[in-house]
């Protein structure tokens, strides 16, 4: 069975454009994050090995495997997000004719909702981890790829914000108040960190005429 992450760009965009509710914004956010992390890794690799950028090698070399790890995890989350949505749909279809069935159905819905909130939270986390590296990559990386680093930051910011929107839309369905509060606090924290990282990347992009 093929995964969403293994589809061509054309087929994935067609899946998003279909009348099926999934893949949706959560999977799209994870895909955007994977693309952003990939672009930053590209800029790093366009810098390493080039003699005129030697003084940046030591700082940038460890970032390539880190960014590769974020990219791979975000690609996994493309499919995990859609599976989490499908789990909610399946739970809602469970029988509810008896009290026992109602209780089992509600538990399944609760569990699926927690999963559907956890997955985009992970997307936001890994995208923010990559986004916080954008300023360093853009500053120290090959200047010929400066626009690529800026595009990467934009994609990663979209991944963070898009994933957090998916977290927040699921919060009303999280029945455990402590868990709900934890999700909300983590979302607020990641949102602030992501905005700060994008702001730093934007400030640098402006000095290079890449952003208004």
Sign of the C-alpha dihedral computed for residues 2, 158, 70 and 87 taken in this order:
negative
Convert the pLDDT of each residue in 135-191 to its tens digit.
999 999 999 999 999 999 999 999 999 999 999 999 999 999 999 999 999 999 999
pLDDT tier, 2 (very low <50, low <70, confident <90, very high otherwise): confident
Q: What percent of the chain has pLDDT above 90?
A: 99
Convert the pLDDT of each residue in 26-74 to its tens digit.
999 999 999 999 999 999 999 999 999 999 999 999 999 999 999 999 9
In whole angstroms, give the CA distance from residue 212 to residue 205: 9
pTM of the model: 0.96
What are 123's two structure tokens?
């997307």
Which of 127, 134, 114, 112 is CA-nearest to residue 176?
114
- Quick check: 183 and 166 in contact, CB under 8 A? no
In whole angstroms, give the CA distance from residue 25 to residue 117: 13
In whole angstroms, give the CA distance from residue 24 to residue 61: 35
**Per-residue pLDDT for 1 more than 70?**
no
pLDDT tier, 97 (very low <50, low <70, confident <90, very high otherwise): very high
187-190: list long-range contacts, CB under 8 Å, 24+ apart.
187/121, 187/124, 190/121, 190/124, 190/125, 190/128, 190/160, 190/164
**Per-residue pLDDT for 79 more than 90?**
yes
Which of 64, 113, 70 is CA-nearest to residue 92?
113
Q: What is the DSSP letter of 142?
A: -
- The predicted structure's pLDDT at residue 114: 98
């Amino acid at each position: 069975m093929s995964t969403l992450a293994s589809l061509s760009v054309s087929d994935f965009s067609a899946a998003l454009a279909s009348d099926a509710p999934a893949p949706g914004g959560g999977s799209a956010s994870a895909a955007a994050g994977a693309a952003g992390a990939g672009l930053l890794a590209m800029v790093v690799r366009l810098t390493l090995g080039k003699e005129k950028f030697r003084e940046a090698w030591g700082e940038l070399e460890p970032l390539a495997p880190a960014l590769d790890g974020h990219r791979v995890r975000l690609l996994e989350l493309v499919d995990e997000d859609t599976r989490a949505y499908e789990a909610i749909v399946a739970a809602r279809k469970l029988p509810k004719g008896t009290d026992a069935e109602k209780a089992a159905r509600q538990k399944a819905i609760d569990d699926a909702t927690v999963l559907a909130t956890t997955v985009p939270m992970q997307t936001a986390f890994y995208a923010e981890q990559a986004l916080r590296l954008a300023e360093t990559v853009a500053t120290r990386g090959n200047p010929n790829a400066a626009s690529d680093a800026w595009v990467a930051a934009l994609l990663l910011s979209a991944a963070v914000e898009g994933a957090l929107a998916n977290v927040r839309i699921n919060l009303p369905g999280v029945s455990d108040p402590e868990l709900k509060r934890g999700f909300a606090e983590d979302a607020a924290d990641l949102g602030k960190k992501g905005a700060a990282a994008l702001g730093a990347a934007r400030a640098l992009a402006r000095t290079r005429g890449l952003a208004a």
